[in-house]
Amino acid sequence: MKISNLKYLLIFGILASSKFYSVTNAEVCLQILRNKNEFESAMYYSGRIRKWNEATKEFDHFESLTGNGTLVCTVDYLDNITGQDVIVAVDTMLPYVEEGTNGTVDGYIGSIWNVLEESLKFKSKYKNGTGYKLDIFFSGGCNVLLGPVIIDKYYGGHCQYSHQLTTISYSLYTREVAARVSMWWYIRIFRRDLWFATIFYIVGISGVLFGMYRLKKMACSNYIESNNEFAEWSFNFLCVLGGITGQGVQNLPSSWSLRCLILTSLIISVLITCGFNSTLMSHLSISGTMMPFNDLHGIYLNGHGSYSICVRSKDGPGIYLKQMERNWTEMGFHIDNIMNRLNCPKMEDKQDIKSKLCDKDKRIYFEAPEIFLSVYREVKHKCNIVKVAEHIQPRKISFLATTSWPYRKLINKYLLKFRTAGILNYFEHKFISREFPDTYDSKFSSEIVTFEHIQLIFMGLCIMYIVSAIICIAENIWVAFANNNKVQRIISRSQLSHKMRQKKFMLPKIYINDNTFK
């Protein structure tokens, strides 16, 4: 607050020179500031303006703004709310509060309000309206805003928080396979030494087979095995590669030395294949929930700005990110660049979140667990969601009541009694569940193999088919071209040989003089 505004405040002082306006027998208003802005600044902290009351021997608290922000007044608190009408604006947000049929509310806060209504015997009238509920509440005509409101700022003399109901914190959620599957993901699972050992084994066994067959042919004349296919280096390589992939060999050699080597190669290949498969499955099942980031900074740095953070911009998550924006900007972390991009759903709309939750876009959801999981449980059969980080910025929540409402302290007193009696804990366990669904099963599940992993393998298989088709077409063209050249050469040779024969066996021409026969 500015010093220029403080000069008008007499905290624990005498306000004899100020103008007083009597509203009721117990309520008093005064006008000591110049304009509405000074009133807002003065009432930022409630109870700062006080006046000694000679009758009650206590200080009167001027805490309510009235008269369009031109008067600050005391509040005549009452304890008898029986039969009174309470106008309530409902900010629907599961699992905290939901407006039901026939003028009822449900959820954690809704159930607490129902118990208050039943205990104190007042009548709630729920106000309908479209738009942001907090704006409807501030527009006037409501006594209570029933919804989860974070206790993080003061609303001056307009409204006050109720007694604390519970504590929430935020977590980061994303799709399970959003950031792990890449072109080289499978290769990076295994150590580089293992790849070198496997390649050395394939090349080594192929070389031994090739060399042994050559020695066998040198030692034994007219020795041929498998149509002399072992004499080719490529066939030996494909034979060993087929053993690793489980294809085996077409025929066992008749030579026991080669047969023993082939069987040894097949056994080692089976062991290598089982080792690769089991390690891959274990990595997919146990480490399936690992992500390349574990906080907001990691999303920006490791994600290279490609991820979108989806939040409720006007509520707690968005307010928290805005509050932290200055510190992050100094570190080079610009939250505005990745927050609520076009691919994000409307986080205030449950149906929109449900329709887009399982999309393959790179999205990070920054939300309270109980709010996010209430939506995810309805679509968990379609996709798997991972909790990246949790317990970010714990906050206290309550609901709001206007400062001038005379039954505000009565409601807080009963809420405190409910907490002592365990009623708040009962409703919290009933409606609020922060436990991630199927935590144990999803941790050791292999269902994630059916997502981008199979898609990546299928794409690789299609690429190999295309490459094989191109090679096959090229081979056919080359063979046709080679055969055509061969035929042309044969024809040329035959023509040349025919000409040579004609020259070689040509009979001499005989010329006869006609005069000889005369």
Spatial distance between the Cα atoms of 287 and 446, rounded to a whole number of angstroms: 10
In the predicted structure, residue 237 carries a pLDDT above the cut 70: yes
193: its two tokens = 């030494």
In the predicted structure, residue 159 carries a pLDDT above the cut 50: yes
> Are the beta carbons of 111 and 59 closer than 8 angstroms?
no
DSSP annotation of 14: -
In the predicted structure, residue 2 carries a pLDDT above the cut 50: no
> Are the beta carbons of 51 and 18 closer than 8 angstroms?
no
DSSP annotation of 506: P
**In this predicted model, what pLDDT tens digit does every residue of 314-329 receive, in sequence order?**
777 777 777 777 666 6
> Are the beta carbons of 235 and 229 closer than 8 angstroms?
yes
219: its two tokens = 């030692």
Burial 42-59 (b: 16+ CB within 10 A, else e): bbeebebbbbeeeeeeee
Supply φ then ψ for residue 70, to 5 degrees: -105, -15
Q: Going by DSSP bridges, is the β-strand pair 144-150/308-310 parallel, antiparallel, or unpaired?
A: unpaired
Helix (H) or strand (E) holding 413, with range, is helix 408-421
The angle subtended at Cα 375 by Cα 302 and Cα 304, nearest 5°, is 10
pLDDT band at 441 (very low <50, low <70, confident <90, very high): very low
**In this predicted model, what pLDDT tens digit does every residue of 16-35 receive, in sequence order?**
334 444 444 456 776 666 66
**Ranked by mean pLDDT, which of 91-100, 287-296, 404-413, 484-493 comes out on top?**
404-413
pLDDT band at 286 (very low <50, low <70, confident <90, very high): low
Rg of the chain over Cα atoms, rounded to whole angstroms, equals 42
Residues paired with residue 28 on neighbouring β-strands, in sequence order: 22
The burial of 117, by beta-carbon neighbours within 10 Å (0-12 exposed, 13-18 middle, 19 or more buried), is given as middle
Q: Residue with structure tokens 């040198």?
A: 218
In the predicted structure, residue 74 carries a pLDDT above the cut 50: yes
Average pLDDT over residues 170-193: 68
Question: What are the distances in angstroms from CA 260 to CA 18, 210, 347?
Answer: 110, 14, 66
Other CB atoms within a 10 A radius of the CB of residue 381 amount to: 8
Architecture per CATH, domain 185-286, reads as: Orthogonal Bundle (1.10)
Task: Report residue 469 CA to chain centroid gap.
Answer: 39
> Are the beta carbons of 20 and 60 closer than 8 angstroms?
no
Higher pLDDT, 49 or 467: 467
449: its two tokens = 């193999």
Spatial distance between the Cα atoms of 436 and 422, rounded to a whole number of angstroms: 25
**In this predicted model, what pLDDT tens digit does every residue of 183-228 receive, in sequence order?**
566 677 777 787 888 888 888 888 888 888 878 777 777 777 666 6
Task: Report residue 240 CA to chain centroid gap.
Answer: 43
| Mean pLDDT, rounded, of the chain | 73
At position 254, the amino acid (one-letter code) is: S
| Residue limits of CATH 1.10.287 in the chain | 185-286
Residues paired with residue 146 on neighbouring β-strands, in sequence order: 90
Provide the pLDDT for residue 267: 78
Average pLDDT over residues 100-107: 80
158: its two tokens = 């307009």
DSSP annotation of 134: H
Handedness of CA 257, 258, 259, 264 (dihedral sign): positive
In the predicted structure, residue 14 carries a pLDDT above the cut 50: no
Spatial distance between the Cα atoms of 304 and 296, rounded to a whole number of angstroms: 12
First to last CA, the chain: 153
Whole-structure pTM over 0.75, yes or no? no
Helix (H) or strand (E) holding 353, with range, is helix 350-356
Provide the pLDDT for residue 8: 39
The burial of 27, by beta-carbon neighbours within 10 Å (0-12 exposed, 13-18 middle, 19 or more buried), is given as middle
Provide the pLDDT for residue 301: 65
Higher pLDDT, 231 or 408: 408
